[in-house]
Structures are given as structure tokens and as C-alpha cells.
């Protein structure tokens, strides 16, 4: 008969990350770029003190456990304080993506029923538009200090930090209590909320520090380029603090020049973001003949990392860790590193592996299934619907009664293959897959080849309806400034690389590539721009 173990059971709370961090690394730094070259710098110890003050300030303003506190803010030390102060007292930190359409933001705030919204001054105009649309919000607090800074007579952040915190200690509660809320970007239908728990957040942070995941240690200086409003900046606010790493917050300026400067001046060793932000940094370095003196690892995910980007960063001494995740997965599911036996492979083979989405973190399990929910072989060739389950995977959407699972698995909406070592390779989002003559063409593969062209800045492959073949692939290209790539030149790259029937039928040039609020190609808009919109299912 099984017997219970005899070990302590302490709840996995977000406040325990903070307590651990400040007890063991009180002098470690958190640095924020405030804009115009101005830098804010303080120690974990100062951060912990202000976070406790804010926790008391939240209580003094009658914010109750379970309440939602919204944020419209860049990556800054103040945003980090809100993350920890809210969750630490059982309040839910609701990060809102300010790049969404006004109506969507209002929908999200109203759906979450936020009681208070903290916002960067940068978003003042947006907030003025939101106020009449979100009548349930009791206070809009501008993230400004000192006390005399004010915004249209609204309370400022300093007023929330004025309370006596000497007697305050972090409360202990059930580790399954909700800690954070983040909405999917809602490219189809209204956005839906993923409500994270303390336990899921701490386990996700733990797993992401693993050497074969993000490999974060006390030695690292971590700069999250991915915004704190995009799935908790991929957990870095938790994993970096848990590891005692120096944290560099880039603030509002995500231009290649500003990021490069910050990277060099603060000795950043690890940074993470979507390919479109990395592209700016890489372009800046390439154009100015620069290399990185401390940057060691670039974590790239959110959409497929083009192999050309892996190669460009490698030339600058930076190794890429390609990661896959989604809002519903907290977000990390896989990270790509080479196995020891693959280190001796030639460069082409290694690049092929590194361009895959990688292997599961402990705590995330994957399966690929056919349309009937039957599991398909993990042979590296068969593709199917990517399913996930695990300790930090959503079970149901916020405010929904029905489960989001199918037989215990969450359907990611991605199409992928998995090989015998667990390497997962996304071929497409199911709604982006192109079906030509009954065969599937991976839009990601087609885009990656176009991106090898030195004059191509951005490439999107979408389906055009075709009487004979059902659908045919079409390429949309945004060229680099002051270059003149030709359709023939780009199409020549496909020769002997893919089957003839996979080569795009046409190439169109476009001045600006439409992007989503999370920095990904907006293929729905491209389809409407170029062709009739098609059904959203594959």
C-alpha cells in the first residue's frame, strides 16, 4: 500500500521567489532604461522594499485577494514591482497588450473586470480613450514619481508607496491561487484569458532555468526584449530573479540602436524576444559592422526563427536558442539545444536542428494527432495537430465553464512533427498551412528560404485559391531599404531546395508588412489585402 512521504510541503508562491532572491542576492542589480539615455539602477534589496510598500499600498486602497489589477506598461522596474506586489498578496496581475486595437483593449479590461489599472505616462492618450469605455475601473494610476508628478489629476504611483510597511509579511496561501492573467491576441474572435497560478508560474520558472532550456544562472545578465505584457515576458521576471541574475529592462525604446547600446553598456549575456525585434538588433549591428562583446545567448520564439538569423547571430558570436510557446502554455514548451553527439555534425546539419523548435521542458508533454485524435508516430516526418499537456498548460479559459481540453490534451492550433529525440518542428499554424494538390506546403519553410536573400527584410507565404490545385503558395516580400531584389532572383533560391510544385507561383512586393500586436506576421490581413479571405481552418 502506498504511504505518504515525510517531507515538508511549502506552497510554491511567487513571493517565495522574491524572498529567496533578496535573502541571497541583496546587492544584485535591476537596471531600467527610462528613455533619453537616462538609466534607473537599484538593488534587489531596494526592489524588495518597494514591492512590500506597494503591497501595503494595494491593501490600503482596498484591493482584495482575487481582484484584478491591470497594467499598461513597458518592461521597467515599476512593472516588476507590480508583478510581485499583486501576486504576493493574492491579487491577480493582469498585463494588457497596449498594441491591440482600442476596442480589444477595452473588451479585455471589462472582461477581466480590472479594479485598478497602472499605466506608463507613454500610454496617457490611450488611457484617456479607454476611461469612458471601461467604467468599472475605479482608479487609473500613472506610473510616475516623485509625488508631485501628476497626470490629469489622476493618482500617481508614488502615492501607493507611502504606507508604513514595517509590520508587513508576505501572506501564505494555497499554491493553486491565481497569480496572473494574460489574454491571447484574438486574431480570430474575441481575446480569451489565460489565468496562471502561483504553482504553475513557479514550476515554469524553475524548468526554464534548466541548462538545456534557457540556462539562467547568477552569472547572467538578462534583458527581456519580449514585453512583460506578452505572456509574462516568457517568465523571465520570475526565472531571472529566482536565479539571482542581473536584470536589464529596456523600457519603451526597442530600436536596434538603443538595444545594442544597452546590451553593451550593461554587459547583457542573455536576451529573449520575437524574430522581428531581433531583426532590428541584428540589422543595426550588421549595418554598423558591430559585434557583441558579452551577449552569449539569444532566445528567439513567438514565431519561427529563420535559419538566416541563427547564422547571422552566430557570426557575431551569439548562439540562438529557438523556443516555442504560447499564451496558454505560460508560455514555454520547448527550447532547442544540440545533443552532445550532434556537436560534431557539419554546419548545415546543425543549422537544420537548431532551426527546429527544440525539445520539451520537463513539465510539458507533447503529442501529434490526426483529425480523429489518434496519436501519430514521433518519426520526425509525420506531421499532425500539436497537442500539449503539462504543469503550466491551460485547462480552461478565464471566465469559461467548459474545459479547453480534448481528452486531456490542449490543441495548440499548430501543425508539427516530432522525432525520436523529442525535437519538435512546426510546419505551420493550422490556419496558415497551404494545401496544393492534396499535399501540404509549409509556409514557414518557404519563408525561410526567401529570407536567405540578402535584400529581403521580411517574407510571408500565403495561399491563393486555385481551380486546379485547390491552393497555391504566393510570396509577399518586404525588401531592405535601398535594395532592388527581383522576383526571379528570389525564386532562383528555391531551385533544387524544394519540390517544383512547392515553389511559389508569384512574388509580390509590399512597403510595410502588417504585424500583429505581438510582433508576428499578420497573414489574415495579407490574405484580405491580396485575395478573398478564406476559411480560418486548415
Residue closer to ligand ADP by CB (options 184, 436) is: 184
Which residues between 55 and 74 bind ligand ADP (CB under 6 A)?
none
Length of the chain (residues): 538
Question: Please, what is the Cα angle at 72 between 265 and 37, to 5 degrees?
Answer: 25
Distant-in-sequence, close-in-space partners of 441: CB < 8 Å, separation ≥ 6:
433, 434, 435, 461, 473, 502
Q: Do residues 54 and 77 touch, judged by C-beta distance below 8 A?
A: no
Residue 134 falls in which region: left (phi positive, over 0), alpha (psi -120 to 50) or beta: beta
234 makes contact with ligand ADP (CB under 6 A): no
User: Is 301 among the residues that bind ligand ADP (CB under 6 A)?
Assistant: yes
Check residue 383 for interaction with ligand ADP (CB under 6 A).
no
Helix%, strand%, coil% for the chain, nearest 5: 30, 25, 45
256 vs 306, which CB is nearer to ligand ADP?
A: 306
Which residues, numbered 171-190, are part of the site for ligand ADP (CB under 6 A)? 184-185, 187
Radius of gyration of the chain (CA): 23
Where do we find the cell 504585424? Answer: 515
Q: Among residues 325, 384, 473, 485, which is the contact residue for ligand ADP, using CB under 6 A?
A: 325
**8 A C-beta contact, residue 331 and residue 303:** no
**Catalytic residue annotation:** 184, 328, 435, 440
| Nearest CA among 492, 511, 505, 512 for reference residue 531 | 505
Is residue 412 near ligand ADP by the rule CB under 6 A? yes
Q: Is 390 in the site for ligand ADP (CB under 6 A)?
A: no
Stretch that binds ligand ADP, among 65-73, 204-212, 260-268, 406-414 (CB under 6 A): 406-414
Cell of 95: 498585463
447 binds ligand ADP (CB under 6 A): no
| Residues 404, 207, 220, 300, CA torsion sign | negative
Q: Which helix (H) or strand (E) holds 180?
A: strand 178-183
* 414 near ligand ADP, judged by CB under 6 A: yes
Q: Does 430 bind ligand ADP (CB under 6 A)?
A: no
C-alpha separations of 315 from 221, 269, 285, 358, 400 in Å: 21, 16, 11, 21, 48
H-helix or E-strand spanning residue 530: helix 523-530
Select the residue interacting with ligand ADP from 163, 359, 429, 527 (CB under 6 A).
429
Instruction: Indicate which single residue of 122, 284, 411, 520 sits in contact with ligand ADP (rule: CB under 6 A).
Output: 520
Q: Which of 180, 235, 306, 413 binds ligand ADP (CB under 6 A)?
A: 413
Q: What is the nearest approach in angstroms of ligand ADP to the Cβ of residue 139?
A: 28
Parallel, antiparallel or unpaired: strands 29-35 and 246-249 = parallel
Nearer to ligand ADP, 198 or 322 (CB): 322
Using CB under 6 A, count the residues that bind ligand ADP. Answer: 23
Of 391 and 516, nearer to ligand ADP (C-beta) is: 516
Q: Which is nearer to ligand ADP, 303 or 417 (CB)?
A: 303
CA 19 to CA 274: how far, in whole Å?
A: 31
Q: Are 417 and 428 contacting, i.e. CB atoms less than 8 angstroms apart?
A: no
Q: How far is the CB of 326 from ligand ADP (least distance, A)?
A: 3
Give the nearer residue to ligand ADP in terms of CB position, either 221 or 334. Answer: 334
Least CB distance from residue 313 to ligand ADP, whole Å?
15
302 part of the interface to ligand ADP, by CB under 6 A: yes
- The single residue among 144, 303, 383, 417 that binds ligand ADP, judged by CB under 6 A, is 303
Q: Which three cell numbers stand for residue 247?
A: 536584470
End-to-end CA distance of the chain: 49
The distance of closest approach from Cβ of residue 229 to ligand ADP in the complex, given in angstroms and rounded to an integer, is 11
Using an 8 Å Cβ cutoff, are 122 and 143 in contact?
Answer: no
Contacts to ligand ADP from residues 214-233, by CB under 6 A: 231
426 lies in the site for ligand ADP, by CB under 6 A:
yes
Beta carbon nearer to ligand ADP, 89 or 213: 213
Which residues lie near ligand ADP (CB under 6 A)? 184-185, 187, 231, 301-304, 322-327, 357, 412-414, 426, 429, 516, 518, 520
Amino acid at each position: 500500500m502506498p504511504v505518504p512521504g515525510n517531507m515538508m510541503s511549502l506552497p510554491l508562491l511567487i513571493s517565495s521567489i522574491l524572498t529567496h532572491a533578496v535573502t541571497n542576492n541583496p546587492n544584485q542589480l535591476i537596471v531600467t532604461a527610462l528613455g533619453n539615455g537616462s538609466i534607473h539602477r537599484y538593488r534587489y534589496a531596494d526592489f524588495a522594499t518597494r514591492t512590500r510598500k506597494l503591497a501595503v499600498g494595494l491593501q490600503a486602497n482596498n484591493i482584495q485577494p482575487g481582484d484584478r489589477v491591470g497594467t499598461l506598461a513597458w518592461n521597467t522596474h515599476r512593472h516588476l514591482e507590480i508583478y510581485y506586489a499583486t501576486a504576493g498578496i493574492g491579487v491577480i496581475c493582469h498585463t494588457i497588450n497596449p498594441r491591440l486595437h482600442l476596442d480589444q483593449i477595452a473588451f479585455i479590461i471589462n472582461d477581466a473586470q480590472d479594479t485598478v489599472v497602472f499605466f506608463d505616462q507613454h500610454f496617457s492618450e490611450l488611457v484617456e480613450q479607454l476611461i469612458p469605455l471601461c467604467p468599472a475601473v475605479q482608479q487609473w494610476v500613472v506610473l510616475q514619481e516623485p509625488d508631485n508628478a501628476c497626470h490629469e489629476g489622476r493618482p500617481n504611483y508614488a502615492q501607493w508607496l507611502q504606507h508604513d510597511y514595517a509590520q508587513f509579511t508576505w501572506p501564505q496561501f494555497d499554491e493553486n491561487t491565481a497569480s496572473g492573467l494574460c489574454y491571447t491576441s484574438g486574431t480570430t474572435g474575441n481575446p480569451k484569458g489565460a489565468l496562471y497560478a502561483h504553482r504553475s508560474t513557479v514550476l515554469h520558472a524553475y524548468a526554464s532555468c534548466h541548462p538545456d532550456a534557457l540556462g539562467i544562472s547568477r552569472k547572467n545578465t538578462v534583458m527581456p526584449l519580449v514585453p512583460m505584457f506578452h505572456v509574462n515576458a516568457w517568465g523571465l521576471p520570475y526565472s531571472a530573479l529566482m536565479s539571482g541574475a542581473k536584470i536589464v529592462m529596456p523600457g519603451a525604446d526597442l530600436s536596434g540602436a538603443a538595444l545594442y547600446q544597452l546590451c553593451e553598456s550593461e554587459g547583457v549575456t542573455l536576451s529573449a524576444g520575437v524574430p522581428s525585434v531581433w531583426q532590428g538588433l541584428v540589422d543595426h549591428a550588421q549595418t554598423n559592422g558591430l559585434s557583441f562583446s558579452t551577449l552569449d545567448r539569444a532566445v528567439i520564439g513567438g514565431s519561427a526563427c529563420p535559419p538566416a538569423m541563427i547564422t547571422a547571430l552566430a557570426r557575431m558570436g551569439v548562439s540562438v536558442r529557438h523556443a516555442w510557446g504560447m499564451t496558454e502554455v505560460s508560455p514555454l514548451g520547448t527550447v532547442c539545444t544540440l545533443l552532445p553527439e550532434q556537436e560534431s555534425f557539419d554546419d548545415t546539419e546543425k543549422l537544420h536542428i537548431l532551426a527546429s523548435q527544440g525539445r520539451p521542458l520537463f513539465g510539458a508533454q507533447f503529442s501529434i494527432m490526426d483529425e480523429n485524435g489518434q496519436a501519430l508516430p514521433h518519426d520526425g516526418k509525420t506531421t499532425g495537430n500539436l497537442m500539449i499537456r503539462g504543469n503550466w498548460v491551460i485547462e480552461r479559459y478565464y471566465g469559461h465553464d467548459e474545459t479547453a481540453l480534448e481528452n486531456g490534451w490542449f490543441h495548440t492550433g499548430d501543425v508539427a512533427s516530432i522525432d525520436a529525440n523529442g525535437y519538435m518542428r512546426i510546419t505551420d499554424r493550422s490556419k496558415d498551412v497551404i494545401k496544393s494538390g492534396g499535399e501540404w506546403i509549409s509556409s514557414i519553410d518557404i519563408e525561410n528560404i526567401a529570407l536567405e536573400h540578402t535584400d529581403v527584410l521580411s517574407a510571408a507565404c500565403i495561399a491563393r485559391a486555385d481551380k486546379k490545385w485547390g491552393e497555391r503558395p504566393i510570396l509577399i516580400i518586404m525588401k531592405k531599404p535601398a535594395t532592388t531584389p527581383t522576383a526571379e532572383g528570389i525564386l532562383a533560391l528555391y531551385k533544387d531546395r524544394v519540390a517544383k510544385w512547392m515553389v511559389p507561383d508569384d512574388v509580390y512586393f509590399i512597403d510595410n508588412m502588417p504585424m500583429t500586436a505581438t510582433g508576428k506576421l499578420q497573414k489574415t490581413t495579407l490574405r484580405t489585402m491580396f485575395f478573398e479571405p478564406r476559411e480560418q481552418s486548415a
